[in-house]
Chains A and B, each alone.
Chain A
Amino acid sequence: MYTSWKRFLSLMLLAVTVFCSACDNSEFREQIGEFQKAMTDSRSAVEVYYQEMNQFEKDLYLLRREVDPNKGLGIVYAYKRPGPGPVVVDALYVNGPFAPASIQARLDSLKLINQYGSRLAELAGSDSPAKFSSGTAALGENIVKLGGTFSRLSGGRDTTAAEYIGPVSRLVGIVSALYLENKRDKALIDSIREATPQITKITSRLKRDFDEVLIPQRRTGLEGSISTMTGYYEAERIKPGSTRKDRKAILSEINSLTRSFELFVASSPAEMVQGMEDANQALFAYANSGRKNADFVQLVARIGEFRDRAKEVSETVKEIREIRRKLRDEN
């Protein structure tokens, strides 16, 4: 009961503070700054899953060889030649099994969204933000050519690349323009209106990547590791000469794997992408509303939630990485 009242009073206080200052542009600018910080946190958490896709598969493959001397080792050099990638079989993949170019294109999309947030914050917060002579100078060659990259990937085995082409190309144009001109206030609002639908399309696609590929990959990989290590323990514990120390070492590994699984399930990385979208929509609603007080309250609340969530997931991802690093080092 006390907690509910405390929460109610805090919300009231927040609402009063926000109502008093909503008309002030500095508050809006401050919120854009918060939006940008949360985007950076979430980007780093989401990125990890893409960056580790292939290494995760290598670790799984090697783990199964470590515990079973009857399993042979086979290596596939994936994506060495142009054209569609290989049918995935049980092998150690070099540059695979997931296409490095496809992974990099997703990472660049996240970078692009982050650059959008950074530039908004820069334009909203600084008196004289830097101007650039070209989009390439501001965004970097990879980002400027990102639409073309997705277009090329869509001709290969990348099932979803085509859906990125339109929104990414348009967002590159919008963000480039933000760098070429020192847009302020009204022009800034116009850019938010124009960019939001493109970001929505990109975040929706990223979320589907998580739901359809990254989450099944991670979840089954972790479940499989727990299963294999459990089988290994069962075989080792009954061997003559098995010591408490030996058993403890295996059980400790199983404990780390189950902890990783729990953290992974609890962190819901797809929700993080959804959080990026929620904050994006809140910013859009405020820009679109004639900057009413009620919308500003919404914006502050949504960005606050997003930041808290981004921080939580970012810490969880760090913990999962640390467990994986320890497991690799110990073996």
Chain B
Amino acid sequence: MKTDNKVLLDDVERCFELAVAPGIPASERKKYDDRGWELRARLTTLLAAEFADGTQQVTTANAKIREVNKLLKARLTQLGNAANTIQALGELVSVIDDLFQLPFIFK
């Protein structure tokens, strides 16, 4: 099974979009830029990685990828909470790093 790379790609693009969005404070923008690059580096590996079917950690990571996507979209429409979004991005990076501890193949 694979991670939801389509949504993860969207997460990366939303981060970079928020990092240049007018009306968002500079300190917050910088965090989106940093997180965007962190996620992008992980996405590059995940594009090719395949995990054993039924791996719970992948299911958890996919849920986090989608949760973050919702938060980023909400923040883009200025409706979301910055602190929650940035915290969730940090958690997502950490969840993905945990995945890399598992055996996986490049298939």
Contact = CB atoms under 8 A, between A and B. Distances in A.
Interface of A: 64, 84-85, 87-90, 97, 156-159, 212-213, 216-217, 219-221, 223-224, 226-228, 230-231, 234-235
Contact of A213 (B13, B47, B106): B47
A212 B2 CA distance: 13
A158 B105 CA distance: 10
B40 A231 contact: no
Given A87-B100, A216-B43, 6 more contacts: A87-B45, A158-B106, A159-B106, A224-B33, A224-B40, A228-B37
B47 A212 contact: yes
Interface stretch (B14-22, B54-62, B63-71, B82-90): B14-22
Contacts of B105: 84, 157
A220 B26 contact: no
Contact of A220 (B12, B32, B100, B107): B12
Interface of B: 5, 9, 12-13, 15-17, 19-20, 26, 29-30, 32-33, 36-38, 40-45, 47-48, 50, 100, 105-107
A89 B41 contact: yes
Classify the interface of chain A: helix, strand, loop or mixed. Answer: helix
B60 to A, nearest CB: 19
Nearest to B39: A220
7 contacts: A97-B44, A159-B106, A224-B36, A228-B19, A230-B20, A231-B30, A234-B29
Contact of A227 (B19, B41, B50): B19
Contacts of A221: 40
A277 B9 CA distance: 27
A230 B26 CA distance: 10
A147 B48 CA distance: 21
Nearest to A86: B45
Contacts of B29: 230-231, 234
